[in-house]
Amino acid sequence: MTINYQFPYYPYNQYPPQTGYNPMGQMPYSNQYQPTFRPFENSFIENILRLNLGKTVTIYMNFENSQWGSKIFKGELVGAGRDHILLKDNQTNITYLLLRIYLCYISFDEDIEYEYPFN
């Protein structure tokens, strides 16, 4: 791993640092600090899924080189994060925590809500 020492690391995506920045890595002590996280800043999959919570989806996953191979999950979309999807199967009342690393694609049984960030 190569480390580039030319550019210092600033936590919270503050480059260059705001006034009142504490170089010890603590939160800035200025009352003008603005959090940089905006949940719908980009059109990421988890943001699209969060807009459509409660809808019925079919999730196609591929577990390569395993005993399961490819699997299909169908149910109500309960939650979504950067690396996972929560899906509740209403027929069996089982909630699945699915890792997105195995995700192939998702289909919806109805129209979806989609908000493109640059409109």
Mean pLDDT split into 10-residue runs, the chain, 119 residues = 48 51 55 51 79 96 89 96 94 95 94 76
pLDDT at res. 7: 46
The residues spanned by each domain of the chain are 45-108
pTM (predicted TM-score): 0.61
CB-CB neighbours of 57 under 10 Å: 19
Into which CATH architecture does domain 45-108 fall?
Answer: Roll (2.30)
pLDDT score, position 19 = 54
